[in-house]
Structure 1
Amino acid sequence: MSGVEDRVRRALADAPADLLVDHVTAELEASYAITDVELLQVDYRLSALLPLTEGEPVTDPGHPAWRCFDHQEPVVAGDAGYLPVGMRGERRGVLRVAPVPDDPAAVGELLGVATALGHELTAVNDTTDRYRTARRSRRLTLAAEMQWDLLPGRSRVRPSFSLAGQLEPAYAVRGDSFDWSDDGHRLWLSVINGTGEGVAAAMLTALATHALRNARRAGIPLADQAALADQAVYAAHRGAQHVSALLLELDLASGVTTVVDAGSPHLVLLRGGRVVEQPLEAQFPLGMFDGTDYRGQRFTLRRDDRLFVVSDGVAEATGGNVRYGEHALTRFLRRTGSMEPLEAVRSLIGELRAFVAGDLVDDAVVVCLDWTGPQP
C-alpha cells in the first residue's frame, strides 16, 4: 500500500460518515494537487451515474464514467480520471478526479484510493442516508424502499464465482427479491416472489427472506430451509398468501448444485454459448399448505457455466400488446456469454425497457451466476 493510500484510509476512518468524499478531496489535493473530486453513484435502475453534489446525471453509455463502471478499470479522458468505486464486486459507482496526474503509478494509487472509499461507503451505509438519497433519481415507493433494504447487495465476486441481480421496476418493485450468502465453501442463493401488491407483498417477501436466513444460519439443509420458511409463511397467513421461491446451494469446490423449486422463477443454464434445459421438480410455493415436505434435487455445473434465474415478469413483459416471451428471452441470454454478470443483467433489463418503451409494469427479478470452477 502506498503512502497516499495509507493516509487516505486513515482520513476515511476518522471522517464523519457524511463527509467521506470531503476528506478524500483534502488528501488528494495535498498529495496530487487534485482540486476537483466527485463521487458518481449508480442509481437504482442501473441507468444513470448520479453526482453526490449538484451536477448533471451521466446517462450516455459512451461516457468515460460508464466505460470505467462497465469495465471496472481506470479511464483517463482529457484532464479527468475516472476510477471504479466498489467492494468485493459490489459496484457503487465512479470517482472522478481532475486534474489527473500524468503518471501511471499515480493512477494506480488513485485506484487504491477509490477502492478504499468503496469499502468505507459500505461501512457507513446504515449510519447515514446521504449516499442512499443521492443514488435515486426519483422517490422510491414504500414497498421498493423495503425491498432494496432487504438485499445483500447487487453484485458479488469471489475467486470461484461471480453473480449479480436486479429488481424492476427499480423505483416501484413490490414482491420480487433475491438473497445470497457464501462462506468460502458454499454459495446460497434464493429468488423470491411474494404474492399481492404494494407493501403487503413486500412484507410477505421480507418474512420469507428472514425465515430462510434464520434456517440457513442454523446450518439446516436446503430442503429443510424451505420447509421452515413454508411453516413461517403459513403460520402468518394460513394459506391465504404464499411465496414462490427458488433456493439454490452451490458447492464451490465441486460444482454440485442443490435446488428446491417451490413454485419458482425460471432457471436457465447457459453452457458453451448454448441454452441447456435443466428440468426441475415443481413443488408447492412457500406457505400455500400446512406442513409441506420439500425435496432438493442435484445437478453438477461445469467450469464456466452460467445460470440465470428470472421471474415470470421477464418473459411476460408486454409492449404494444405483444408478449416478450420465452424464445426472445433465450435468444438474448445466448448473447450475454462474453459479458460480466452485472453487465448481462443490466443488458437484459435494458432490452426489456426498450421492448415495453419504459419501465416494466409488473415486478421482475434477474439474477446471473457464473461458476468459474474450484480455486485455491
Structure 2
Amino acid sequence: MARVDEAVGRLLTQAPLAGPDELPALVAGVAPLVGADDITIFLADYAQLSLVPLAPPGRSVEPAAIDSTLAGRAFTTLEAQRGPGRCWMPLVDGCERLGVVQFAGDGDLDETTAHHVTACVAQLLKSRRAYGDIVERLRRRQPMQVAAEIVWGLLPPLTFAASDVAVTAVLEPCYDVGGDVFDYALNGDLLSVGLFDTCGHGIKASALASLAVGAYRNARRTGLDLAATATSLDRWFSSEHRGLFATAVLIELDRRDGTLRTINAGHPGAQLVRDGKAIRELPGPTALPLGLGYFSDEPPGVHEELLHPGDRVLLYTDGVTDAVNRTGERFGLERLLDLVQRALNDELPTPETMRRLVQAVLTHHGQGLQDDATAVLLEWRPTDVTAG
C-alpha cells in the first residue's frame, strides 16, 4: 500500500538539510513508500529539446528527447504518460514546466500518489536549486556566453498563470542571447508586462537589458503609471547610455474588466488574438524608442483596448520575423501568426505553443540566429463569462 503522506513528509523534513545535489537520492529513496522501484527527475534543457536526468551519483541515465518519447509527451501535454514499467508525470511549478518525474516499477502505480510526490519534488527543486549549480549545469547542453548568463539571471520564470491571466515567453538563441529581455508582475488586479529589445549584442546589450529590467521594476514598485514608467525608463537610458536605445512594449491589464493599456516605444506591433485568430495589430508606435525621448516634447501615448474573455496578446521582437533562411526568405509575420493560430486551435498548452514557435524560427533559419528572437503571449481568461 502506498504511503504517500510518509513519502512527502520525509522529503519535506530531509530536503531543507540537504544540498541541491543530494535531492535526487532523497527522491529516489522514497520510491518504496509509493509502490515504485525507482524515481528519477528529468529537467528540460534550455533549448527545450531534451529532458536531462537529475540522477543520484553513480547512476547512468540517458536523456529523453522531448519530441519523440513518452517522457517528452508528458512534458508537452502536461498529462501523465504510461509505458511498460514506467510512468512519467509532468514536473511543474504553478504553470512553469520544469521537466518530468519518472516512476519505475512493475506495480500498478496510482497516478494520484505520483502527482502528490511530483508536486512536492517541484517545490523542493525550486527552493533548493538556488543554493548550488547542479541544475544549471545539467540544463546546459553547450557553453553559455556571459551576456546570456546576465540576461537569464534577470528574467522571471518563462511561464506564470493565475486563475484569470497567464503569461508565457520564449528566448533564443538561449546560450547567446544578449539584447532581448522581458519582465512581468501581478499586483492585485493589475498585470504588468514589459518586453524590451536593446540595441547591439553581447555584454553591452546585456548591460542595457539589465538597466531596462531594473528601471522597469523600480518604476512599477514606486507606483508610477504606465506613461510615467515609460518616461522614467527613457530618462535612465538617455542619462546612462546616451545615444543607445531600446524598443519596448509596456502593458498593463486590469484583470477585473479586461482593460488593456499599452505603450509601444518603436517596437513591432502587438497582435490581438481572438478565438484562435489574429484579428489585428494594436496601434503603434505610440512613443519613441527608450533613450531617444529627447527628440520629442510629446509624452508617451497610451493606447487603451477592452479585451474579450479568452483574448490573447502576442508580443515579439524583430528577431522572430526577420530570421531568414539560406535563400534569404524572412520568417515573416504571416508565418508567425499562422503557426500561433494553428497551435492554439490544436488546444496545446500555451507554453508548448511558444516552444513550437521558437523551434519553427530556428528550423527556418537553419543556423545560429544573428539576432535575438523573443516572444511573449499574454492571455486573459476571466472565470466570470460576463466580463468584458
Shorter chain as denominator, the TM-score bin is: over 0.9
Taking a change above 3 Å as real, the CA distance of residues 292 and 142 of structure 1, as seen in their structure-2 partners, is farther
Quick check: 1:258 aligned with 2:261? Answer: yes
Report what 1:45 is aligned to: 47
Alpha-carbon distance in structure 2 between the residues aligned to 1:292 and 1:112: 55
What secondary structure, in the 3-state scheme, does the structure 1 residue paired with 2:168 have? strand
Taking a change above 3 Å as real, the CA distance of residues 8 and 100 of structure 1, as seen in their structure-2 partners, is farther
User: Deviation of residue 144 (structure 1)?
Assistant: 0.8
**Partner amino acid for 1:251?**
D
The 5 A counterparts of 1:1-376 are 2-29=5-32, 31-32=33-34, 34-53=36-55, 54-59=60-65, 61-99=67-105, 101-104=107-110, 107-238=111-242, 240-282=243-285, 283-290=287-294, 293-320=299-326, 321-337=328-344, 338-374=347-383
**Partner amino acid for 2:265?**
A
User: Deviation of residue 60 (structure 1)?
Assistant: 5.0
Alpha-carbon distance in structure 2 between the residues aligned to 1:150 and 1:266: 24
**Partner amino acid for 2:44?**
V
Taking a change above 3 Å as real, the CA distance of residues 205 and 81 of structure 1, as seen in their structure-2 partners, is same
Taking a change above 3 Å as real, the CA distance of residues 100 and 216 of structure 1, as seen in their structure-2 partners, is farther
Taking a change above 3 Å as real, the CA distance of residues 32 and 116 of structure 1, as seen in their structure-2 partners, is closer
- Give a deviation string over 1:39-62, Cα, whole Å, max 9, x none: 111111111111124433222513
What secondary structure, in the 3-state scheme, does the structure 2 residue paired with 1:110 have? helix
What secondary structure, in the 3-state scheme, does the structure 2 residue paired with 1:336 have? helix
Q: 1:273, 1:334 within 8 Å by CA — same for their partners in 2? A: yes
**Partner amino acid for 2:196?**
I
Alpha-carbon distance in structure 2 between the residues aligned to 1:292 and 1:236: 22
Alpha-carbon distance in structure 1 between the residues aligned to 2:298 and 2:231: 6
RMSD over aligned Cα, in angstroms? 1.9
- Give a deviation string over 1:326-361, Cα, whole Å, max 9, x none: 222222222122222111111111111221124423
Greater mean deviation of Cα atoms: 330-339 or 218-227: 330-339
**Partner amino acid for 1:331?**
D
Q: 1:250, 1:257 within 8 Å by CA — same for their partners in 2? A: yes
The number of residue pairs the alignment matches comes to 372
What secondary structure, in the 3-state scheme, does the structure 1 residue paired with 2:217 have? helix
Q: Return the TM-score normalized by structure 2.
A: 0.91
Taking a change above 3 Å as real, the CA distance of residues 126 and 4 of structure 1, as seen in their structure-2 partners, is closer
Taking a change above 3 Å as real, the CA distance of residues 259 and 60 of structure 1, as seen in their structure-2 partners, is closer
Alpha-carbon distance in structure 2 between the residues aligned to 1:292 and 1:120: 50
Alpha-carbon distance in structure 1 between the residues aligned to 2:121 and 2:298: 47
Alpha-carbon distance in structure 1 between the residues aligned to 2:171 and 2:153: 12
Structure 2 portions without partners, runs of 5+? none
- Give a deviation string over 1:56-103, Cα, whole Å, max 9, x none: 322251311111111222222111111121211111111112116404
Q: 1:258, 1:299 within 8 Å by CA — same for their partners in 2? A: yes
What secondary structure, in the 3-state scheme, does the structure 1 residue paired with 2:312 have? strand
Alpha-carbon distance in structure 1 between the residues aligned to 2:132 and 2:351: 26
Counting aligned pairs with the same residue, the percent is 27
**Partner amino acid for 1:176?**
D
